[in-house]
Amino acid sequence: MDWGMKNRFARIVKSEDGRAVMLAVDHGYFLGPTGGLEEPRKTIEPLLPYADSVMLTRGVLRTSVDPNSSVPVVLRVSGGTSILQDLSNEDITVSIEDVLRLNVSAMALSIFVGSEHERETLVSLSKLVDEGERYGIPVLAVTAVGKDMARDARYLSLACRIAAELGAHIVKTYYCEEFGKVVESCPVPVIVAGGKKIPELDALRLAANAIQGGAVGVDMGRNIFQSDSPVGMIRAVRAIVHEKASVEQAARIYESTKGPKARRAAG
């Protein structure tokens, strides 16, 4: 890796411990105003102090994040479809000039292995890697899952390995049973997505198991911003990723930061 590439990569995966807490708030690019992200600035601002990096679109970056913020940006540069259509029909949606203008630390693009538009998304990844290598910007490949695809180790290993072979510098995927096999067969760092909202304790277990299985960190969205205590959840996840906290210790952090309203709701 050239100096610029290494430097940007180190903003995403911290060199002190080789770990990463990425806050994913890019969901609107195909989901629109999804739950918890209706007003992006309100959701994002209180969470930024606890995130190593934030993953979002250029629209939300420009409208909803203070340009004085020092949080590194992972810019989603693929899209073109909505939840109402075939999600695999994506293309690159941001020019490299705009990526440079926005001073981002990495670019993120989804690949849809096994879906109708598999080939186009893999070719897009390869083109993006060419641009990334030209300007020293790491590429995060997101292994999105087609409607009929199982999220098991066999499928996710296939998708992650292909992403790495095509030059992705870091791969984001889902947690699964035998997650270690996915990590072992992927020659670049793997970061785990949170997936749909689950109970907080389960989300913390997922994060801990993923780290145990060899992930460099988490890129978590809904399980943070749809929680009854988003700040509590990101702090708890951070403790697992960076401070070797157990799930129980992390759960105490989450509980202790819940406001009175959330505590009442939980009984």
Active centre residues (catalytic): 172
Strand 53-56 to 20-24 pairing:
parallel
With CB under 6 A as the contact rule, the residue among 219, 240, 245, 258 that binds ligand R5P is 219
* CB 27 to ligand R5P: min, Å: 4
Q: Per the structure block, which two tokens stand in for 186?
A: 């992927």
* CB 191 to ligand R5P: min, Å: 10
> Is 222 an interacting residue with respect to ligand R5P (CB under 6 A)?
yes
> Are the beta carbons of 126 and 156 closer than 8 angstroms?
no
CB-facing half-sphere around the CA of 22: CA atoms within 13 A: 36
With CB under 6 A as the contact rule, the residue among 132, 138, 194, 232 that binds ligand R5P is 194
Alpha-carbon gap, residue 125 to 162, rounded angstroms:
10
> Is 146 an interacting residue with respect to ligand R5P (CB under 6 A)?
no
**Taking contact as CB under 6 A, which single stretch among the options 23-31, 82-90, 123-131, 237-245 is the one that binds ligand R5P?**
23-31
Q: Per the structure block, which two tokens stand in for 172?
A: 């984001």
Binding-residue total with ligand R5P (CB under 6 A): 13
With CB under 6 A as the contact rule, the residue among 163, 166, 190, 220 that binds ligand R5P is 220
Alpha-carbon gap, residue 185 to 164, rounded angstroms:
10
* CB 218 to ligand R5P: min, Å: 8
Bridge partner residues of 78 (DSSP): 92
> Are the beta carbons of 242 and 21 closer than 8 angstroms?
yes
By CB under 6 A, name the binding residues for ligand R5P. 24, 26-27, 55, 142, 193-195, 219-223
